[in-house]
Structure 1
Amino acid sequence: MKDPAPRRRSRPSEGDTREQVLATLLKLGPVTANDLGSRLGLSAAGVRRHLDILVEEGTAETVDRRPSGRGRPAKHFRLTDSGRAQFGHDYDTLANSALDALREAGGPEAVRRFARQHVEKVVEGIAPAADESEEALEETARQLAEALNEHGYAVTVGRAGRSIQLCKHHCPVASVAAEHSELCEAEQEVIAARLGHHVQPLASITDGHGICTTNIPLTPTNYSERSTS
């Protein structure tokens, strides 16, 4: 015999109920608290409490929608980008599949060309270093770091002996680059082109290191220019 009320077997926890609220918001889009409560079998006060917490966390937001007839705009709730992100994504698989298809259609050179265009777009607007002096190289390195950070990387600029180092602590395309090394190669090429100077990749997240390090060696000329300035 079918159980007429399976929900009564166990009382859901606060976390479980909030997950149900999130999932229902994802499916229904903008919805009122009353409609949401009816769907989930929750009281109006109960569902509003969960919605208030989600709004405070930034995973949900309110929007006013005017009813079809006369009346005051009704408050509806919907997920924010942060709320939708709670359900995950499969962008990496999609990106890898797209690059695989590009390689099959145009060969490795087509992937390299795409990778370079991608990195060029990230650093768009950054002028090449004025010269190969220490000051010019470090200033351009910091501009490159800022541009990368704006696109989801976590890059710092520091010194190591007679070198400037760009250290990438997070790479948003690491899993894709692990399958398509052209992305890393293009990044090094573009950085070197903006600096007008030789660079050395010392470590890579895709190789199992916890950080990507691009070394910018400073020649004796760089130091002599600084000491005489």
Structure 2
Amino acid sequence: MGAVAKTNETQAGDGDTRRKILLILLERAPVIASDIAEQLQLSTVGVRRHLDNLVEDNLAEAVNPRQNPYEPKMRGRPAKTYRLTDKGRSIFGHEYDSLAAAALATLREVGGDQAVRQFARKRIEAIVEGITPADVSDQSIEDTAKSLVEAFSRHGYAATVEANRNGLQLCQHHCPISTVAAEFPELCEAEHQAVSEILGQHTQPLATIADGHGICTTNIPLTPIKHS
């Protein structure tokens, strides 16, 4: 009985670790095994075992490492990075996709493209409601970007923001409406427009989950918008 109980405890612990790794892949991908191990205070070997199992179950995939152009190139082979597959993302839910797509299709039939754009605008306004637009200072822009990240994350986007050489980079590691947004890009367009208006900055969409990328990435150069 003791051996059976110990085996069950081990399996339960493995299941908990597996869920934590999936969540890290959702929020931070692409990520290397050693970074996951450091965050969870586990051995890199153990984390790689979990990652191999996730890849085998088609919940995660290994992707080609990307060298940061602003970091010095290192000798040797770059560490393998991992991200979730569509199946892995589905664990975190894409509720009511079919219903939402059908509703928007009907809205387009009845009211045309403008009606869909108006709906998308109202949706994002509800998400960012209460966020005070940034002033011209870099600190205000960064603080407002963090408020946007918190608002998006409360709505299931697993968002992050980081400073880069030329400004800020806003990432959404999960999109709860990606399936619908693939059919109705007005949803993404409204998000980008709202972010630009609140930050008072131009935005440069670099990648979207709706288009098949692993992360929605928006570059925000810290250059104020000039109003005529």
TM-score range, shorter chain: 0.5 to 0.7
* Contact map agreement 1:163 1:215 (CA 8 A) in 2: yes
User: What letter is aligned with 1:159?
Assistant: A
User: How far apart, in 2, do the equivalents of 1:168 and 1:90 lie?
Assistant: 18
Which stretches in structure 2 are left out of the alignment for 5+ residues?
1-90
Alpha-carbon distance, 1:116 to partner: 0.5
Name the CA shift for 1:163/1:195 in 2 (closer, same or farther; >3 Å): same
Pairing 1:128–2:133 present? yes
Report the AA paired with residue 121 of structure 2: R
Whole-angstrom distance in 1 between the partners of 2:96 and 2:204:
30
User: 1:206 and 1:214 mapped to 2: Cα distance?
Assistant: 14
Q: TM-score, normalised by structure 2?
A: 0.56
* Residues 132, 197 of structure 1: 8 Å contact kept: no
The 2-side partners of 1:90 and 1:193 are apart by: 29
How far does residue 161 in structure 1 lie from its aligned partner after superposition? 1.2
Count, aligned residues: 133
1:104 maps to: 109
Query: What's the CA shift for 1:163?
Result: 1.5
Query: What stretches of structure 1 of length at least 5 have no aligned partner?
Result: 1-85, 222-229
Q: Distance in 2 between matches of 1:101 and 1:188?
A: 24
Q: 2: distance between equivalents of 1:176 and 1:128?
A: 28
Q: Deviations over 1:8-34 (max 9, x none)?
A: xxxxxxxxxxxxxxxxxxxxxxxxxxx
One-letter amino acid of the structure 2 residue matched with residue 195 of structure 1: L
Provide the identity percentage. 59
- Greater mean deviation of Cα atoms: 210-219 or 111-120: 210-219
- Moved beyond 4 Å, runs of 4+: none
CA RMSD across the alignment? 1.8
1:148-183 CA distances to partner (integer Å, 9 max, x unpaired)? 101111000102211201110001001110010000
| Aligned residue identity for 2:118 | R
C-alpha distance in structure 2 between counterparts of 1:147 and 1:208, whole Å: 24
